[in-house]
Amino acid sequence: MNPMIKAIKAAQRAAGIDQVCHVKNVKQISSGLTNSCTGLTKNQQRALLKRYQQMAPRQEMPKQLKLIYSLWGQLASAGKVEKDSKQACDAFCEKFCDGKLLYNAQSHWQAVIEILKQWLHRKETNHA
């Protein structure tokens, strides 16, 4: 099966779109010329995929993960980290998550939160 068709079908399932509605969407995208996504042009397939992806429910970020990113932003505002980005935070936190990606290391989140809180509240001393 064509990779684009696979992506469309996966997005259709994720969005909870039944086959009857899928056919209606295909007909609308193709201006009534086809009722199958295999009959769509590449641009029409991309448009259908985008439509389905936008219809899929967004997964809410867990509260602890939001707190970690918030603390990282506070550290950046305080000048304690150079880069205020999700990627920089993820790279830092990976060290404390046994090499796992932060999102997949739920068992480490509380420890990471405590580390970031302590770092944020740590007084900078001048050792000159």
- Mean pLDDT, all residues of the chain: 89
Q: Are residues 22 and 41 in the same domain?
A: yes
The answer to the question of residue 24 being in a domain is yes
- Say whether pLDDT at 127 is over 60: no
Q: Are residues 68 and 115 in the same domain?
A: yes
Q: Where are the alpha helices (DSSP H) in the chain?
A: 3-15, 19-29, 42-55, 63-77, 86-94, 109-121
Q: Would the pTM of this model clear 0.85, i.e. be above it?
A: no
The answer to the question of residue 29 being in a domain is yes
- Mean of the pLDDT values across residues 57-84? 89
Residue 21 belongs to domain spanning: 3-55
Number of domains in the chain: 2
Is residue 18 a contact partner of residue 55, using CB atoms and an 8 Å limit?
Answer: no
pLDDT-based confidence at residue 125 (cuts at 50, 70, 90): low
The answer to the question of residue 68 being in a domain is yes
Q: Are residues 11 and 50 in the same domain?
A: yes
